[in-house]
Amino acid sequence: MEVRVAEVMERVMNTKARSAWKKGVSEYALDILDTLDEVIVIQDNKKIFEELKAICLNGADNWNEYSWRGCAEIYDSAIAQRLCTPSELKKTKYGERRPNSREEWLDTQARALGQAFRLIYRTVWIMYREEMGLYGI
């Protein structure tokens, strides 16, 4: 199966995101897609999730490692601005304070990256089903 990245990006951009978090997740999805080749080749249609995840992780083992290795935003303030509402930004002093008691900003970014990948996967899965004539069944 071959997937055109430009088409996935277009569909992700057209996904409605109402909250600051979901808008940030969509931005991360676009960032991930922007690092990929023009065409993604999936060898085994039964392993779309695993193959696509490996391609998107770009050598990292998981989204936490991807985030902490600097493959996405590296500054707390940039992560906070991407994922927070204005009131949350004020509460965290624009990223100077931790997002919550259990996480650092890079951990929060890793969660968002995982959700961004699921958005990409869901989009590719829908495209695959449309290609196979299975959409709506």
Domain extents for the chain?
2-132
Higher pLDDT, 44 or 110: 110
pLDDT at 110 over 80: yes
pLDDT at 137 over 80: no
Predicted TM-score (pTM) of the model is: 0.94
Give the pLDDT of residue 46: 85
Give the pLDDT of residue 135: 65
Give the pLDDT of residue 43: 86
Mean pLDDT, residues 59-65 taken together: 97
Q: Do residues 21 and 112 lie in contact, with contact meaning Cβ atoms separated by under 8 Å?
A: yes
Task: Give me the half-sphere count of Cα atoms (radius 13 Å) on the Cβ side of residue 106.
Answer: 13
List, in sequence order, every residue forming a beta bridge with 2; answer none if it has no partner.
Answer: 41
List, in sequence order, every residue forming a beta bridge with 103; answer none if it has no partner.
Answer: 100
